[in-house]
Structure formats: structure tokens, C-alpha cells
A and B are shown apart, each in its own frame.
Chain A
């Protein structure tokens, strides 16, 4: 099946389950349903991420408000003659229903002492239930700047990039070699090895965390980026995906190359790899995402700050007793940025790539 995709399939005249739109310009109920479904999809898929981003710009106390405000707001403070510090501004509703804006000097119990900025000499006592903070749109950049200044952000970023790039290169190389071996040759033990590859697909890394840690310790790779790069390099998913794709490459090409006395390596490198580019691109993107997002494993292997990856470094805000949500949200957005960028630039490439590998 996949060959059909590698080359361009002809444009479809009829597409889809209940087929295409009925008459031109006339909407069938299935069209309405489709667009409603897709519209809801956009809201459901993007909305949460947008909400996270908006929330990340709120102050710690702003995050606690209920009902939450859509945009980040901060209370307005005004300079009042006779007071050294700016005072917070409130809208006070009097008993008779009139409202005016007053600055608060201090609060004692349930009574606030307030002052009219226009008349700084008279102090007014207001029950706190009658006042409401006056706020304006204000972005809490400090959620971002404070943690980024406190840590070696650039070091973490560099480590993350090194891990992601190195791991992806190693993964692509060894996985594609293995896939080539399994796809192109008939040899003794091939089925056993395939079975083994599929079998390892089943094992969640979480359950063998401690044994892998022991192995990495024996190899002396604790606190080394290699300890993060190598253990996950031989992905069964990658071998499986590439092998399925390579099976579809016409044998004649390989036979022709052998006739030309090309060595097996050249056939792999010059003939098969270029033809498998769509599948390799898909694996590359997945590998980048896996490595960029990896958290549990680096947290165990890396305990020196100069080798921290971003995910480890930025999660240092999760304390024992206090989750500093404003930092957590902001740092989550920071780790999201590269993902969003990759997605924005490569989304057509990614989605068509996965579709074209066909996952036979």
C-alpha cells in the first residue's frame, strides 16, 4: 500500500465515507456536522494550550482567583500625596449605591481605611465587603524572567539540544541499519529477531527503571549526557516503522545496484536511505519529541546542574510543600515553545509523512 503514497496518488473525485459533498453550494447535513465537529476540534485541541499560556502570565495571587479572568490583570496603584508608597486603588460602593474610587491605606479586621486621591487629608472607613479592586491588564513577566535568571538556562538548553540531536542521530543510524538488515535480506533468525523487536515494543521503561540505572552505573555514565542518550537509542518502534517502509522499496533497484558491484553499505546509504526519507523523517520527529520531553529518566541519571536538561532544570520549582504554579505554568510554556515552532514549520511534513509511511 505505501508505494501508492510515496508517489503522488491521482486527485480523488470521490472522497470519504459518506462521500463528498452532494451538490455544489448546497450543504448536506453531513457537511454541517463535519464543520461543526472540526470547529469543536479546534477549540478542544488548541483551547487548553492557549489557556495555559494566558494563565502563565498571571501573578501568583491572580492564578488563585475564582472565577478566573481571561487575561492577566493587576491591581492599579496610585501615588497619593502624603504617603511614601503607592496605594492600591479600590472601587467602593456606598450604601446608597453610588460608587467611587478610593485608595486603601491599611486594613484593620473587616474595616479598610481609605483615602480619596483627590483629597488626601481625610481618611474614610469602609467595610471591606463594599470595596472591589480596580484592575488593569498587566502581564507578569517575572514568572518567566525570575526563574530564567536564577538558573543556567543556556546550559540546560544546550544540554537538551545536545541530547536531542545526538540521540536522534544515533537512533536514526542504528535503527535504519537494523531495519535495512531485516527488510532486505533473507537470513536465519530473521523472524526471531523481528519477534524480539516487537516484544520489546511492549515494555514500558518505567518498570525497568532501576535495572537500567544499574547498567548505566556499571558503564560509568551517571551524570553524563551519554547516560541519557544511549539507553533509549535502539527504539523498537523505529526499527519496526522503518523496516515496514523499506519492505516496499522495489527489489529491482537493489539488484541493479548489486550488478553494478556496489557494496552493501553503498546500497544502504545511497539507494535505500534516500528512498526511505519519509519514514526516516517521521522517526526523526518522534525521536526529537521523545528526547526533548523526556523527564523521568534524566531526573534519575543526572543530579549535577551542569548536565541538567531543560525538563529537569525547569521542574526544580516543584517543591515539597508548595507547587509554585505561576512558575510551573511559565516554565511549561518555555518548554512548549520549541515544540510549537517545530510543529508550525513542519506540520504538513509531519502529518503527510506519517500518513505516507502507512504504518502497514
Chain B
């Protein structure tokens, strides 16, 4: 990959920015960021404190739409025009652009201890030592139930160990009793389907570690999803109404009490605490089970350093500060994010909420981390996992709306993955 010198024009823009923040010899770092909620504000507060401690470094937070993180950032990085740091979700896919911070941070051992399992997600295949960033947010997929609706219908919430079939039966009973339009909703996302599929016995990889998406376990789950869409357990509007790999959530319908059970994940907590609040009991429940496991999918967003940066030393200093335990505790606590820090995960974070439902949900999802199948961790760490997710979701979506049969969809999934991996392998 080539790097490109900052040229006359962009240097001019930079000079403008620096003039605004005064002092000649200071270094300006650029951090590309996206927001789902208030995390940008919290990060800005932390950066202000960092700047006060390090008068020679300023950090600019460039907030972009998430679309730009997914689509524009890879092109910018490839052209050598990327930022110094960025908050990304395609953890492995962009790993060729990451900077190895090991020589630049004060205590690599602390990083290994605190972020060990997640550092793997940021590495290229064959690399088992580099340190490129940390998780701003660990996410765990899992369902929420509208407990108030269950109470009104006089039906018990399925407990620990209940299967997906138990849940499907229960939510249909609730919906029938109370005339709720959507018994069950899942985010339209390959990542969301993977946890339950693994619970059903999907292996995702063959013995050599190559992707093998379609197997009996996956078919067991996708067949259920297909059937649920046909029999009205799930509404077609979510999975049917956009194409390709587009994400679509049911958070608004759930917040409006139109959905009995909603398969999503931990990132909904701050939002639900705001929009639903006290209106009904939105209750995080443990991941339903299949024959193989009761697993969700781990995931999340990471703040990573980019190797094209012209100020690696300063990036190291910044990362040292941001990754320190008390700073991260504040960040996770205020944003209501599940900590991506092993030390903090075991109760080290005071979550900044009075809402008992939010507290319960945070505990439920944080507590679910140990139940996550190792296959799910491997899948999350696989650099081309989005190729698998996209193939899964786009083809399953086409099958659900009846454009192709489920059998054809399986064939197409495998073809899509094979073709895209072959294209990538040409480099």
C-alpha cells in the first residue's frame, strides 16, 4: 500500500485547523468516529482532559455517518488518506491498515491482560502478537422480551434453558391473547442469526478453518426463520423490506410495544432506557438454546490506530491514556456499553443509570459472555466474516420473500462466499 504525502491543499486545511487551536509545535491527531448515542460526547470529554494533560497534542474527533465508516473509510485508507485513529466495526477486514502499538505503549502486558481475547479480532491471519486498539464497546447479541405484555396475557416468561421453539410458542400465545401484530422480530443482520445458528449446531468453519457456512445446524435455524416468516411469528417487513446486506432493526416497533420478543443485542440498552423508559418492562433474557449451545454472538466496535499516521508516538500516548482502567470505566459507565476490558467486565463499572430495566439488561448481557460458544468467537475474529454474514442475510432475505427457494438460497450463499473470497485472494 502506498502512502501519500500530504499535499499543498490538505496541508492548507490542516494549517487552518491548527491555527484555530493555537501553539506552533503541537501535534494534531485525527480520530474518525461514528455515533449510535452519546458516546461521541463522552469521548470528547475524555479527549479534553487528555489535551489538558498533554498540551502538545490535540485530538480532533471527526464524526461521520456510519455509512462512511463502512464504505468510504476503506477506500480512504487504501489511498493513504485515512485518519490517525478510527472507530471501526469491520475489525478484521481493515486489519491490513492497522498500526502495531506494541513499541509505542507503556505497558503491553496490561493490554494483553485486559483486552487479550479481543486483540485477536484486530489481527491479520498469521499474526498473533500485534496490538492495534481496544473495544470501545463489546456487544453481545440476545433477545429482549416485553415482560409487561407477558404479564398482561398471564403467560410466564420462558426461563433459563428454554429453546427457540419454546419461545416461539410463548410469544405467539402472548400475541394472540393481546392482539400484538408482531410476536417476534429479529434485526436483519447476519451477525444476529449466527448466534442462534451456532446454538443449533452450525460449525461455520471446516476442519481446516476455512468458511463452511451452510451445514445442518445453519439449516435448522434458517428453516425456522423461514417458517416463522411464513406462519406470522415474524413480520416480513423487517427481513423482506430491504435488499442485499442492508441492516434493519425492529427497535422502533419494539419500543412501541408492537413486538413481544426482539432479538437484538446489548447496544439497544441506552436507547431503550431513553425511548421506552418506564412505559413497559423491556426485559433482557438469556439467549435461547438449541441442541448445541445457548449462544449469542460477540461483536462490537474498536478504536484502532492506523499505520499511515505521521505521529505514531503521540498516537501511542493517546492510546495509553484512553485504555487506562479508570478512563475506560468512565467511558463504559456513561455510555452504558458492555465493557471490552476483562478487568472491568467483572463488576468494575458503575453504570450511569437509575433504570432497573437497563441495569438488569447490562447484567444479563455481561453475564452472557461466558456462555458464548467458541465458534462464535472464532467467527467474530475471522477477517472476512462480513462476507459470510452478507451472503447469509441477503440470500435468506430473497428466500423469505419468495424470490428463490430456500435450497437455492443455500447454494447461492456458498457461491457468493466462494466468489468474494476468490476475488480477495487474487491480490
Contact = CB atoms under 8 A, between A and B. Distances in A.
B427 interface: no
Contact of A299 (B41, B64, B151, B258): B64
A222 B252 contact: no
Contacts of B274: 60
B30 interface: yes
A99 interface: no
Given A217-B81, A220-B9, A222-B79, A319 B36 contact: yes
Contacts of A300: 68, 71-72, 75-76
Q: Which are the 7 A-B pairs with shortest beta-carbon distances?
A: A220-B7, A319-B36, A224-B9, A318-B65, A320-B66, A316-B63, A305-B62
B62 A304 contact: yes
B114 interface: no
A107 B151 CA distance: 13
Interface of A: 60-61, 64-66, 106-107, 109-110, 128-129, 150-151, 210, 213-214, 217, 220-224, 226-227, 299-300, 303-308, 312-313, 315-322, 325
23 contacts: A61-B275, A64-B252, A64-B255, A64-B256, A151-B63, A213-B79, A217-B80, A217-B81, A221-B9, A224-B10, A224-B13, A226-B9, A303-B62, A305-B62, A307-B13, A312-B64, A316-B65, A320-B34, A320-B66, A320-B301, A321-B187, A321-B267, A322-B37
A106 to B, nearest CB: 8
A37 B265 CA distance: 49
A313 B35 CA distance: 12
Contacts of A110: 148, 151-152
A322 B250 CA distance: 10
Contacts of B72: 299-300, 303
Contacts of B16: 306
Given A306-B13, A306-B17, A318 B76 contact: no
A299 B14 CA distance: 18
Interface in B255-313: 255-256, 258, 267-268, 271, 274-279, 281, 301
Given A109-B148, A110-B148, A300-B72, A217 B62 contact: no
Given A299-B72, A321-B267, A223 B81 contact: yes
A254 to B, nearest CB: 40
Contacts, number: 138
Given A213-B75, A319-B37, A321-B36, A109 B9 contact: no
B10 A223 contact: yes
A303 to B, nearest CB: 6
Contacts of B89: 320
A66 B256 contact: yes
Nearest to B139: A321
A226 B64 CA distance: 20
A303 B79 CA distance: 13
B12 interface: yes
A317 B40 CA distance: 11
Contacts of B271: 322
A283 to B, nearest CB: 27
A322 B13 contact: no
A304 B30 contact: yes
A180 B311 CA distance: 51
A305 B81 contact: no
Nearest to B264: A321
B424 interface: no
A321 B247 contact: yes
A109 B89 CA distance: 37
B36 A322 contact: yes
Contacts of A66: 256, 258
B64 A107 contact: no
Contacts of A321: 36, 187, 247, 249, 251, 267-268
Nearest to A308: B62
Contacts of B73: 303
A110 B153 CA distance: 10
- The residue in A150, A300, A313, A322 that gathers the most chain B C-beta atoms within 10 A of its C-beta is A322
B35 A303 contact: no
Contact of B34 (A109, A151, A304, A319): A319
Contacts of A317: 35, 65
A272 to B, nearest CB: 34
A222 B67 CA distance: 18
Nearest to A222: B81
Contacts of B249: 321-322
Interface string B334-367: 0000000000000000000000000000000000
B256 A65 contact: yes
B57 interface: no
Nearest to B12: A224
Interface string B395-418: 000000000000000000000000
Interface string B159-189: 0000000000000000000000000000100
Contacts of B81: 217, 222-223, 303
Contacts of A319: 34-37, 66
B31 to A, nearest CB: 10
A305 B61 contact: yes
Contacts of A213: 75, 79
A60 B275 contact: yes
A113 to B, nearest CB: 12
Contact of A217 (B4, B30, B63): B4
A220 B10 contact: yes
A210 B66 contact: no
A214 B62 contact: no
A62 B8 CA distance: 49
Contacts of A303: 30, 32, 62, 64, 68, 72-73, 76, 81-83
A220 B60 contact: no
B47 to A, nearest CB: 13
Interface in B1-27: 4, 7-10, 12-14, 16-17, 20
A109 to B, nearest CB: 5
Contact of B8 (A65, A220, A299, A306): A220
B60 to A, nearest CB: 6
Contact of B68 (A60, A221, A227, A299): A299
Contact of A61 (B9, B69, B147, B255): B255
Contacts of A128: 148
A316 B72 CA distance: 14
A304 B17 contact: yes
A357 to B, nearest CB: 36
Interface in B35-50: 35-37, 40-41
A320 B247 contact: yes
Contacts of A313: 63
Interface string B132-152: 000000000000000110011
A150 B33 CA distance: 14
B408 to A, nearest CB: 29
Interface string B78-97: 01111100000100000000
